[in-house]
Amino acid sequence: MMSKIRGRLGLYFSRLGLFLPTHFLLYIFSICSSQTIYFYTFSRLSSGV
């Protein structure tokens, strides 16, 4: 599911000539998502203890 959406977004942005900004946004998104997972697990562990 996500790969389909990512593929469509990739085609859309490459058509607009925004290839590099797209990779930059994906990079920021990956960082944000990893931090969200980190904070989620941290809060789970804190509430567990």
3-state helix/strand/coil string of 1-49: CHHHHHHHHHHHHHHHCCHHHHHHHHHHHHHHHHHHHHHHHHHHHHHHC
Quote the number of domains for the chain: 1
Q: What are the C-alpha distances in Å from 11 to residues 5, 8, 17, 22?
A: 10, 5, 10, 10
Give mean pLDDT, residues 12-19. 66
Percent of the chain with pLDDT over 90: 0
Question: Is the pLDDT score of 29 beyond 60?
Answer: yes
Q: What is the pTM (predicted TM-score) of this model?
A: 0.38
Looking at per-residue confidence, does 9 or 8 come out higher? 8
Q: Which domain holds residue 6?
A: 2-48
